[in-house]
Structures are given as structure tokens and as C-alpha cells.
Structure 1
Amino acid sequence: MGKYQGFTFESFQRWRRSFELGAWPAFFAINTVFNGMVSVMDHPDVPRWEPWVWESSSAIVSLALMPALIYVSRRWPIRFETWQQNLPLHLFFTLPYSLIHVVGMMALRYVAYAIAGSHYDFDRWWKDFDYEYLKDIRSYFWIMAGIGLYRLWVMRFQGEARLLDEPEVGPPVEPVEQPERFLVRKLGKEFLLAAREIEWLQASGNYVNLHVRSRDYPLRATMAGIEARLDAQYFVRVHRSYVINLDFLVEIEPLETGDARLLMRDGVKIPCSRRYRAALRDRFGQSTAA
């Protein structure tokens, strides 16, 4: 389970960060080359360097705006259950996106034209802002679609956790307030994950990642909400974004700042805030003594 066209999700994880950092620059570079060639053919009456300046300046600003778009897509995702609420927000976001894009690319073009000893006509482009805005709306939602499809692919092959549903008839199979197991869906299949197997949890936007045997299973919940439902005998908050399972804690390394660094059994180091350090030290001592 987990194989896809000759590779596993675990192998993809090793170069996932490099892929995510390089995918959008590669996309905009390729898009610039093709758009530049088309623009040169569409404007035979202008020097050949000008269409390349137009396309490359647009791509540079678009690439610079990607971190903001990725944040917006995470903060207000467009999913089946949220699109009615979040789509109007995204339509509103297209306006500042387009304004920043147009102003930024015009500034770059002004510099490029000045270096070439020429003059850039601002007025012509401002008069065509409605045209640019329509193009930016299309680009905005194409980018959102790309981010969403990639995230869907990752979720499908990584797996996504959720709490067990309460049955419509009869008593629940799990304690409602303190679940012993989570239901994980992966590659169209479902299996149960024991809460005691979770090594640590990390807040990530609208999700909490459940880390189990070098894998992360996103759970759609808040850290405060899920922390309150975990067994306090084993799980303890160590940071605004982290909860750990004491059974998997190996070492507490004090830092000069008053914070600490926690070494987990799998070799991962997790930050521990000063406000949680003393309580953790007491709990860790009790845990090892037991």
C-alpha cells in the first residue's frame, strides 16, 4: 500500500521539500518561455527584447506572490463543504492580488526599460487594467486549483485521520471525550490507529498532524480541541504547536534561553517552550520512574 507508478510516498517524502520549492519556479519559467515566444510573434513591430521583459516581469511578481497564495489556500480552503463560505473571500482577494501584480510588474518594466535607454508607457497599461484584472482572476484560480489538486494528492497518499463517528443507534464504540483510536483513510481504504501509537502531534493550519512511525496523518481539528480529548497520562503540551506522547520522549535538553529541545525516540527534535518546561520535567521524571 502506498505505491504509485513505481515509487512510494515514503520515498517521495525524502525529496518532497525540494519538489515543493522548485515546482512553481519551474512552472513560471516554462510558462514565460512559451508566452514570450507567442508575444514576440504577436508584436513584430516592437524590439524583440520588449515582449520578454513583459512576460518575465509578470512571472517574477507572480512567483513572489506565491507564499501569500499558498497561505490563503490553507487558511480559507475551497472544498465541497467550505466553497460557499470561502469562494466570495477568494473573489475579493483577486483584487489586491491583481493590483500588486500589475504595480509590481510595471515597476520592473520601468527599471528594465530605463536600463535599455527606453521609456515605459505607464498610461497605456493602466487604461488596460480591466483586461489585466480579468487575466489575473483566471491565473489566481488556476493557481488555487493547482495547489488544491496537489494537496488532495498528498492527502490521498499520505492518509487523513478523523475521529470515529458516533453510531446512530446504540452506545458509541469509543469514549466520546477521550478516543482510544482514530480512523485513517488512505488510498481509498480505512484502518484504525491506536491513540497510544501517536508519538507527537503538530499544529499545521486547519489541521493537526498525528505523527506515527515517521508518517504524518492530518486530522482536521484545532490543537486545543484535540489536546483536551487525549489521555493526559500519556500526552502533554510542550509548545504552542506541539503535543508529545511521554512514552516516546527520550531526552530533555535545556537551552540557555530557558526553553528546551526534546529528543524523541525516532530521532526527531521538538521545541519545548519555557512555560511548559518545568511541568514537562516533572512529568518526564514521573513517567521514567513508573
Structure 2
Amino acid sequence: MSNNMSNYLSTQGIVHQTSCVGTPQQNEIAERKNRDLLEKTRALMFQMNVPKKFWSQGVLTATYLINRLPSRVLGFKSPLEMLKGRKIDLSHLKVFGCTCFVHIQAHQRDKLDPRADKCVFLGYSSTQKGYKCYNYVTRKLIVSRDVRFDEATPYFTRKSCDSGQGEFLSDLFPSPNLPIDEECNLPVNPDVHSDPPMDEDCDLSINPDSPVQEVPAVISDAEVDMQSIVEPSSPPAVILRRNPLVSPPAVVLRRNPP
């Protein structure tokens, strides 16, 4: 408390009593109003995924709305209505954190430059009759009345809200569009292996007159543990062997003597 306030209380015969440390129950009216203010601030910021670094603008906007909302204590009239004694116009209210487009004045642009800047709406100015819009490119807070609002589109996404950055995360790192080959047919079951395509002109008939030879396997000098090598995906090798022809026993014809 300032010295001027202390002098004023002493001259008026008022004793100023403060609450004890760590006992907010003694200041319950102010604490309840702070709770109401923070609840509305969180609702505004969560609805449009506004990052925490704009919490001050959220508190100011919540205060601006509370002064214009009807209260049951005041007979369902707003505090500003009770102060001014007339109805308050609410047609200028917009969604906090939505996407907006601020008009660029003619002397600030050329003929080929864009006529508006994409910004985020962050509340209402207390010193000017205009909207407060933040430009993420120039990092400036603009107060203007020539603004177009897209209240259904939030400026921030859920990822940008968690990381504290703007909308540029999706622009700098777009998701790659991988082409899909329609001719590539992959098997549904990875354990099932389709046979390789075979030439129709290939003759697979076996000639019984031609002997079948077994190709010996080439084994390196290193010792290989055959039990440790398991290849369930490769089919077992099939070796065709031809049984040797068994010649019938020789028949000796003998003539009996007369």
C-alpha cells in the first residue's frame, strides 16, 4: 500500500487490517473472483489451442467479457450496464484465438503485394477502438478495426500449442506424400511366400533316360552349426534322385542229356 493511501486512511480515522499469510480464506471474495477469472481464461485458451505465452491477453479478454456478462447478483445485468445505465452492444465480440486477416493500408503496400496479413485474434484494445491481432511473421501486435474474422478456424493447432510455436511447424515440416505403386501386390500373410513366376515355354518334364545328378554343396572352411541356423521362411530344398535300375538275374538254359 502506498504512502498516500496510508495517509488518507489515517486522516479519515480508518484502521487498515490485512489478512494473515497463507490464509486465503480471510480474503474469500477476492479469491473467488480470481478463480472465476482463471476458469474463463483457461476456457478461452483451451478452446482455440492458444499457447501459454499469451496468457496475459487471455486474462484481459476474460475480464473484458466478465464486465459485459449478466450476473445474477445484479439482477441479470452486466456490471458495465449497471455503470452506464444502458444496454451494452455485444455485436463486436469475436472468438478469442481465431484466424483473422488484417487489412494493409494502401500507403504500406505496392500493387502486387497482398492486401491483408494473416494474424491471430488476441482480444480488444483498452485505449483504441480496435481489435488486437498478432502477426506471427513480423512478431508485432497490431490494433486495427479493418479485420476479417474466420471464427470457425483456430490459428493454432494442438501440436503448436504443446510446443509453444506458431502454425509454421506444419509448413516447415510437411508430411511426405509417398507414391503408391498399384501394380505391386504384396501378400497379406507375411509367412506365405508365393512361388516365383515361371516361363511358360520352360519344359519341366523329366527324361527317364537321363541320369539325375546331385550337385554337391560348397562348404567353407569355417565350422557352421547347422542347428543354430533356422530359416523358417525358406522352403526346404527338394533333391530328386533316380533309383538305379536293377537288372534281372541271368537265366542259364541247360539241356538235359538223353
Specify if TM > 0.5. Answer: no
Higher relative contact order (CA 8 A, sep 6+): 2
Question: For the pair shown, which has the larger CA radius of gyration, 1 or 2?
Answer: 2
Q: Structure 2 length as normaliser, TM-score?
A: 0.23
Structure number with higher strand proportion: 1
